[in-house]
């Protein structure tokens, strides 16, 4: 099983995440992180990345956190898959 990291959510206002390897996108309503072989999509309002250290794999996020959803990342590009 892949390492999807650990999530610690406190009062839907503070989120600590481990195994973070990249920040793919962010704004005050949505943050997308790469965690292991998955994406972690965090939705809410007033979201702020307080700290991120991809070397240690740690991230801290604050704001009104409404949802955290893991999705699998596609391996290879769309065009590469069509060529097979």
- pLDDT digit string (tens) for 12-29? 999 999 999 999 999 999
CA distances for 74 relative to 8, 15, 31, 33, 59, angstroms: 26, 25, 18, 14, 23
**pLDDT greater than 60 at residue 81:** no
pTM, rounded to two decimals: 0.83
Q: Is 9 exposed, middle or buried (0-12, 13-18, 19+ CB in 10 A)?
A: middle
């Amino acid at each position: 099983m892949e390492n999807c990291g650990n999530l610690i959510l406190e009062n839907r206002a503070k989120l600590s995440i481990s195994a973070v390897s990249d920040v793919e996108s962010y704004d005050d309503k949505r943050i997308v992180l790469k965690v292991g072989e998955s994406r972690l999509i965090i939705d809410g309002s007033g979201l702020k990345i307080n700290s991120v250290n991809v070397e240690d794999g740690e991230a801290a996020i604050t704001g009104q956190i409404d949802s955290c959803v893991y999705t699998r990342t596609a391996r290879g590009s769309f065009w590469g898959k069509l060529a097979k």
